Amino acid sequence: MRHLLSAGDLSLAEITEICDLAEEMSAVQSRPVKKLPALRGRTVVNLFFEDSTRTRSSFEIAGKWLSADVINVSAKGSSVSKGESLRDTVMTVAAMGVDALVIRHMASGAPWQVTNWIGAHVLNAGDGTHEHPTQALLDAFTMRRHFRGLDGGDLAGRTVAIVGDITHSRVARSNVLLLQTLGAKVVLVAPPTLLPSGVDTWPVSVSTDLDAVLPAADAVMMLRVQRERMSGGYFPTAREYTIGYGLTRDRLATLRPGVPICHPGPMNRGLEISAEAADAASSLVLDQVAAGVAVRMAVLYQLLGGADEMPLARVREVVA
């Protein structure tokens, strides 16, 4: 694997390998000293043109726990604010000898373009409304872990309902691709105004009736309403959206016992998800955050050749 740009680029074997490796990496989080020497001497730059808390922090922690040198660059504090182009920025950073570039950009397709300009490994940390592959990986990892602890199974054959602002969600697009590869059945639920053009060609079922979908769901993923990307009236009022598509206290009661609730964050409590649902015993929201570090450790390890100097068997010994 040279780059990680799209969840659709990953085969079932590659997804399974990353998730299995993330299981080993997750053990590091409970150790007093959270360090592995796997990427010592490697340099990773996190280049973020959009605000981020979870993704940027978890990539930084993941790199540092693998002993890589991690540098954070944001558009607001760089030459981008002076008018420098994306091409000049990434080529300048690459000229300093970095090994990997983690990039988040408001333009869909930006990470693909970056791979034509530099020789370093490129990881897509979110591009516009297009994709967010590591988020889909950590979502799948979290749900897989939940189901294995519940009945020993995985995601194959499970029905996952993804609910909310599908039009503006890069998380939804990456999850559709990844969950399809894993054999899950995906149902997208949203008002017609928040369903993207061409969704009928996606490998999913589509519904505008949340109440009809929830009782049959094996897992529910609520999406943030991305009001910062909305230039028009996608729904009349916030209250009406919650009434039609929010995971309210009453809807929480319609879920089968133990059905996991996911949310990629940040959450708009009281809009797309109620406090009762966000804090329910079956909520995996904080598990997703924790999984973000382990999964991104696994991805960095795979991309930067950690396996050459520290095979997985050795990782298991060190972690143990």
* Residue 55 assigned to a binding site: yes
Cα distance between residue 5 and residue 138, in whole Å: 15
135 labeled binding residue: yes
SS3 (DSSP) at 298? helix
**296 is annotated as contributing to ligand binding:** no
Instruction: State the CB neighbour count (10 A cutoff) for residue 271.
Output: 18
54 is in an annotated binding site: yes
- Rounded to whole angstroms, the Cα distance separating 103 from 145 reads 28
| Residue 104 assigned ligand-binding role | yes
- CA separation, residue 103 to residues 17, 93, 108 (Å): 23, 12, 12
Q: Pick from 246, 184, 192: which is nearest to 214 by CA?
A: 246
Residues 137 and 134: their CA atoms lie apart, in Å, by: 5
DSSP 233: -
- Which residues, listed in sequence order, are joined to residue 121 by a DSSP beta bridge? 100
DSSP-derived secondary structure for 130-143: TB-HHHHHHHHHHH
82 labeled part of a ligand binding site:
yes
- Looking at the DSSP bridge assignments, the partners of residue 160 are 186, 219
Instruction: Specify the amino acid at residue 42.
Output: R
What b/e readout covers 100-124, taking b as 16+ CB neighbours within 10 angstroms?
Answer: bbbbbbeeeebbbebbeebebbbbb
- Binding site: which residues? 54-55, 82, 104, 132, 135, 170, 224, 265-266
- Binding site for L-aspartate: which residues? 82, 170, 224
- Binding site for carbamoyl phosphate: which residues? 54-55, 104, 132, 135, 265-266
